[in-house]
């Protein structure tokens, strides 16, 4: 898998647009799902995806195989850029700005809309595994991974010791890792 991914990146590096299309078709949806989960805003999530693909095409050297698996790197980049936007929006709201759009937006909205979810087995499996994590572990992961809080902030927010935050994070990550390895058997 890693070999195939690196080969796609090599081709993009050489300006092969069909490799770029392959990458988009293979990864854009999962990147978008992650970004919209963090931001709760379709247009902002689209902007994140556009920016990342734009960087990949114009500066493919931003990635190198030394940075680990290409797909993992892409998702880390998507997550970190989405978190940056989320924080920047939060700062604006904290400053009391009265943007007509921002002020109408709750922190994260649950939609009953006509979103049609189609997903790969892996994606669906992990989503299910995540929702089945014990509440206290899921909460820690939500705050750290989807809201960008560091462990001290989480400890303060949930009134827990730093050690508890660390152990819950570890347990949750291990459970998700095991869940995926079961699927891949």
Partner 1 sequence: MDTLTQKALDYTLGVLPKEESLLFEAMLEENDEARNSLAQAQEDCANLALSSKPKSLGKEVRSRILENCQPSLCFDSFLSSESIQKLHRNFSRQDERYQGGGGCVPLKEIQSLQVQDELYQLYEDLLVLSPLVAGDSNAAAGDMSGLQKVLHKSPSFSQSVDSLLSHSIEDDRPVAQSVQRSLLSSMPSLSFFSDRLKGDSFAMGDVRRLFYLCRDQLKIMRASFGDIDPPRLVEDEKLRLHSAGLLKTKWWGAEHAYFSSQGKVRCGHFFDGPVTERCVEFAEYDANMYCLANLLSPRSANGEFHMELIKDAVPDCILAIAKAETKKEKHEEIEEIVHGINPLNPPFQNDQVLWNLIEESMTRAHQHASLSELREACLFGCQRMENSTYLWFAWPAIENAHDGAEA
**Interface residue with partner 1, options 14, 59, 61, 118 (CB under 8 A):** 118
**Interface residue with partner 1, options 11, 13, 90, 123 (CB under 8 A):** 123
How far apart, in whole angstroms, are the C-alpha atoms of residue 13 and residue 28? 18
CA 136 → CA 146, 152, 154, distances in Å?
15, 16, 12
By CB under 8 A, the residues from 9 to 28 that bind partner 1 are: 17, 20-21, 24, 28
Q: Show the binding pattern over residues 76-115: x = contacts partner 1 (CB under 8 A), - = does not.
A: x-xxx--x----x--xx--x-xxxxx--xx---x-xxxxx
29 touches partner 1 (CB under 8 A): yes
Asked whether 69 and 2 are in contact (CB, 8 A), the reply is yes
How far apart, in whole angstroms, are the C-alpha atoms of residue 178 and residue 55? 33
Which of 96, 92, 20 has its CA nearest to residue 60? 20
Least distance CB 108 / partner 1 (angstroms) = 9
129 touches partner 1 (CB under 8 A): yes
Compute and round to an integer the Cα radius of gyration of the chain. 18
**Interface residue with partner 1, options 127, 157, 158, 164 (CB under 8 A):** 127
Least distance CB 99 / partner 1 (angstroms) = 7
Least distance CB 7 / partner 1 (angstroms) = 18
CA angle 166-168-174, nearest 5°? 100
């Amino acid at each position: 898998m890693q070999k195939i991914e690196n080969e796609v990146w090599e081709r993009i590096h050489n300006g092969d647009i069909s490799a770029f299309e392959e990458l988009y078709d293979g990864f854009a949806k999962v990147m978008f799902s992650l970004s919209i989960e963090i931001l709760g805003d379709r247009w902002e999530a689209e902007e994140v995806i556009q920016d990342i693909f734009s960087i990949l095409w114009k500066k493919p050297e931003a990635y190198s195989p030394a940075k680990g698996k290409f797909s993992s790197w892409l998702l880390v980049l998507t997550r970190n850029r989405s978190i940056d936007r989320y924080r920047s929006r939060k700062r604006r709201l904290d400053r009391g700005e009265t943007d007509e759009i921002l002020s109408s937006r709750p922190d994260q909205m649950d939609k009953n809309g006509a979103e049609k979810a189609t997903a790969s087995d892996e994606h669906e499996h992990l989503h299910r595994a995540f929702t089945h994590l014990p509440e206290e572990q899921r909460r820690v992961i939500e705050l750290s991974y989807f809201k960008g809080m560091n462990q001290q902030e989480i400890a303060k927010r949930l009134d827990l010791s730093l050690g508890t935050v660390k152990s819950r994070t570890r347990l949750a990550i291990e459970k998700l890792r095991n869940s995926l390895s079961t699927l891949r058997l």
